[in-house]
Structure 1
Amino acid sequence: MSAETTDWNNVQNHIRKDLDISPQSLHTDITTLSENIAMDLPIYPDLIVEENNTIYFIGVKSKATVDVIARLNLLRDFCLKSKFPKEIQLVIAAKSFPEREKRLMDQLDITMVKLPWSIKLATEKQSKPSNHRITSAKSWKIVSRLLKEKKTSIRQLAIGEDISYGWAHKTIQALIQQNIVKKENNRVSISNVDKLLNGIAWERPLTNLKSCEIQIPFSESMHAAREITRAFSMQHNIPVGFTSYTAAALYAGYSVRNDAVYLYLNDEYIDYFRELFESSPANSIKAIIYRPDREVFQNTLEIEGVRIVSTSQALLDLAGMGYSAMDITKAMVAKYDLL
């Protein structure tokens, strides 16, 4: 389900008040679904709210329909079969609730939140989900360039990343449709960073790229990253690129977890990695290895002896870690234009 709203903050505030949920508990942590259930269906909710041990799956529409009810109910069934770790409450927030739909919602224990007529909602045509992936290699170049430029034209985005104007325009239109980007005259800017990051986490969860975890005999992550970089550079520069927390620590000087390193490595070199570094769990940290889904090695650079992926790739991967890395991801976005 795609959110219809063009007045998203007002919708969230109204739902929060109706459900008596604190502002701190209201967020769209879409990765909660992708990390806990194996599902490849477009039935995720418009909004997810967590309060203590309860998670609310919320559909936001102009009018409650059988289709909306059925999709939410199917989502709940998937979660229950996957032993979802929280109590699930379904909610539909709408301006109109036909009698048949109200009866069905009562039978299925779906909470009704009536939205004021004054809140602006897009039409079904406007809100039709886009199949344009914002995390594809070309689209992400446009998105990351916009994050860096903050406010610019679609033509400048295309020129800056050597992407066709048509593709840049399609990418920006998909983001406008999702109320992530706004357009003023001929200039565009990102208006909802949280929704962008959550969309990335849903569309490209980094955990889906994980190849393996290997215990390595180090007590400090940066020392481990330097030794791994050096070892692989000695072997005809076998491509390696550290990402996620490891890259963020070097790009922005953040103090991050020291119990793991995060890196891209092609499958053909994993046995060699094990030969060099695998150790017993005692006095060791983890090397979390990801399988590249695009060209990630071409724009790597070395900082303090560690070979790391580009800022664009590091940010994409951090966002793909979802809520667990949300704070550091937002901090990196805030200073992205300076990196």
Structure 2
Amino acid sequence: MINSEDNSILVHIKHELGIRDNASISWGVQISEELPFRVDLVIEDDSKKYFIEISSRLTIDKIGRQLVLKNILRNTNSRNRSFEFIVASKLISPETEKIAHSCDIRIIALPYRSNVHENEKSDVRRIEKISSAKSWKIVIALLTENECSIRHIALKTNVSYAWTHATVKSLIAKGIVVEVNNYVKLQDIPKLLNGIAWERPFEKLYYNEVVLPENDALSAARTITRMCEWQDIKCGFTSFTAGGIYTKYGFRHDTAYVYISRDNLDPFLKSFDASDTHGIKIRVYKPDRDVFSDTRIAEGIRLVSPAQALLDLAGLGYSGRDLTLKLVENYARL
């Protein structure tokens, strides 16, 4: 973004577009009263209207904003007007420019000495992945509330309002959450689950596998729960094991899935006899966050929280989709 008083960038953009001197120029335009979406610069020239984002570096986020804007304006009553969507930037990589062109977004290269000031006006500021620990708390709050305000979610999750606002706006931009009259709610759960599967594939946390010579996965999980308590090892069963117990649906009887604290992974694995090849498979996972502080005991088995189990099941993609949806369905009762 630039200040309206800084005329050099405006002159450059007008020159690149071939704009007349008497064209209408508007800065920081809000697209509609219903949608809190602003554009850095709007230029109207004859029957054409240009929507322009201005930044120091061309990013996929900037391209994404323009795509969202195109979607917002798709069904407006301005059908006789020709719209063009533009990002003006100083730093432009060939790869990102190619992506912009494939999305029919025009790119204008600003002079290197242009004074572009990035500020906090962006509706969707750069945040971590939705699967990050803080953002996932917000997703879970949205899952358990029918409709609520962003402030209510921030208070419920004890996450800062700024972070909550950014996360929710990101979800809105992705079409996962809808906002009506300052209230937000989950709209597309399958799209949310697909995003988690792509962001955080659960099997990337896989560490090793051992075999416990028992005939039943529940019994094996109880044995391991007791063993970890005796040896002061943090553990938490997850994935199909936790999901099956929480929902009473789709339980895996041949395999148990467990997180073991990073410091105890190898000592835990050494507790098993490598010669055992018949029994219940114990798939061991290395945690990428705190999964132990909110574990709970169910049927004598230490389980990760429903929120963590849902995140891990979503990370399985389509192989765990049925159980994931069942956990979503039952989540409010857990």
Shorter-chain TM-score bucket reads 0.5 to 0.7
Identity %: 42
Partner of 2:162 in structure 1? Answer: 166
Partner of 2:246 in structure 1? Answer: 251
Contact residue 127 and residue 177 of structure 1 kept, 8 A: no
2:317 pairs with 1:322: yes
Structure index of larger Rg: 2
Cα gap change, 1:267/1:185 in structure 2, threshold over 3 Å: closer, same or farther?
same
The RMSD of aligned alpha carbons is: 3.1
Contact residue 211 and residue 282 of structure 2 kept, 8 A: yes
Say how many residue pairs are matched.
237
2:171, 2:127 → 1: CA distance? Answer: 11
2:262 pairs with 1:290: no
Q: Describe how 1:144-223 pairs up with structure 2 within 5 A.
A: 144-223=140-219
2:215 pairs with 1:240: no
Cα gap change, 1:256/1:129 in structure 2, threshold over 3 Å: closer, same or farther?
farther
2:70, 2:233 → 1: CA distance? Answer: 50
2:255 pairs with 1:260: yes
How far did residue 293 of structure 1 move?
1.0
Cα gap change, 1:189/1:283 in structure 2, threshold over 3 Å: closer, same or farther?
same
Q: Describe how 1:105-124 pairs up with structure 2 within 5 A.
A: none
2:130 pairs with 1:134: yes
Cα gap change, 1:165/1:204 in structure 2, threshold over 3 Å: closer, same or farther?
same
Contact residue 149 and residue 184 of structure 2 kept, 8 A: yes
- State the structure with bigger RCO (CA 8 A, min sep 6), 1 or 2: 1
Cα gap change, 1:265/1:220 in structure 2, threshold over 3 Å: closer, same or farther?
same
TM-score by length of 2: 0.63
Greater share of residues in helix: 1
2:266 pairs with 1:271: yes
Where has structure 1 moved over 4 Å in runs of 4 or more? 1-8, 66-71, 126-131
How far did residue 129 of structure 1 move?
10
Partner of 2:9 in structure 1? Answer: none
DSSP 3-state at the match of 1:151: coil
DSSP 3-state at the match of 2:214: coil
What is the identity, as a one-letter code, of the residue corresponding to 2:319?
Answer: S
2:164, 2:137 → 1: CA distance? Answer: 9
1:267, 1:241 → 2: CA distance? Answer: 12
Partner of 1:34 in structure 2? Answer: none
DSSP 3-state at the match of 2:271: helix
Cα gap change, 1:278/1:329 in structure 2, threshold over 3 Å: closer, same or farther?
farther
What is the identity, as a one-letter code, of the residue corresponding to 1:263?
Answer: V
DSSP 3-state at the match of 1:335: helix
2:70, 2:314 → 1: CA distance? Answer: 24
1:221, 1:172 → 2: CA distance? Answer: 39
1:176, 1:269 → 2: CA distance? Answer: 40
5+ residue gaps, structure 2, are 1-59, 72-84, 86-93, 105-121
How far did residue 215 of structure 1 move?
2.3
1:262, 1:129 → 2: CA distance? Answer: 36
How far did residue 276 of structure 1 move?
2.7
